[in-house]
Structure 1
């Protein structure tokens, strides 16, 4: 089913309204060396986040902005909910499942105290680099799904999103956006830094990498892989049902209900290789060079399949 996250809708619509009254400079702030959106995050929340106590059966989906968090998050939420209803119906509570803004770092400072009373499994999203996670995530071995997408499509999608989502600074040209993205001067900082940092954590036993491209290519196989990692014990029929309900088209059609007005900005194309319409020769050369210098030969770099998805 399509889960309606009212807390999510309230938070993003409030952020969009606030963003309309702010200058581009006012929309960003820096905390612990990373740039974040002022209307969604705050130093107070980040300080409170340090006290968050992760559980070993928590499910954390972590992906940089525009890597497909909301789409894959729907799949993860549906898989967990389907398993709970099938095996532990006494624990399934739809209201509690959707009680908070799903992104770990977005909310109010009291959020983490409220979350202590919520039953397992808690499904949590995040855009944070793994080194910015609360210590308990790796200490208690919460289940972490590392979601990545090829960097050129992330850049293209992020550019379009920035010009629709009023909580983020807009850009007149892709060139100007690309320059800030490569310097890490956009919400959530540098994607290259995000990928490089994940390369240091990819071998942790509680981490499973998954790519946007493989989920697009075969959603059923991707959902099956996730369910196995989370030990959800679902049948092929269960997984087929989740995949059918979670196609990009189905979610885009339901986006007004599930995500409010934000859905129009969130679910744009959901395609692969959309970057080709925006990247100049100089943009291509810069991204190719940066990838080669920082990620070529790494495990994360191999997962991206750069030669398949990022070559002209």
Structure 2
């Protein structure tokens, strides 16, 4: 991941959530992917990402992704670290042992208030200790730490930028200012990162600035992920398949031809490997 981020250009990082999404991402030629908490919540819970996922569920999802696409460099969502600074260290070490290339740790309070609106965040110095703990634990495996602040909507841009600068001081490798309202705030977040890679969620539709890949690169962003870019078409495909079955058909018109379906899943690869063990 360090080598990839040291190269010039913008890194488009598709979101993945299980073995199939990871395998398809690698087959499409992508070198890296984001294990997205929102996508894992959708696939596991059938609902939105509202801090209901556990550490064990996310780690299991990481193991599925790594098993299906072992060469894919995975930036894995570690959420809030699932507790205090010691929990953060356990999470970082576990993700490192499981083969994640980088881990996201954020500053929101958990459990959140019983509403889907807003993300109240922890006091700045408490966040500092969590990022310090993450950076220390990352030394065991070499996993990179991406530090995220969610405080822009609730505490304002100045506090958010101060946290980005603090994360740099604590040794975070990648920075993430969530929910910038416009291009100026994007630029300010990049500047606060002091030359370290800055990450952004670029799926359209949310209440944040979402430039195109080309414009993101011009603004100084290094990495962009697109959670709905893969999940939404997958949902649309399942809806189309179900509608076709409900209408009496055997498959939707958008379904893959049988050969492409079997080739994508790797039936022939399995048979080739299994021949070694047929007596």
TM-score w.r.t. structure 1 length? 0.29
Q: Which has the larger radius of gyration?
A: 2
Q: Which has the higher contact order (CA 8 A, sep 6+)?
A: 1
TM-score w.r.t. structure 2 length? 0.32
Higher-strand-fraction structure? 2
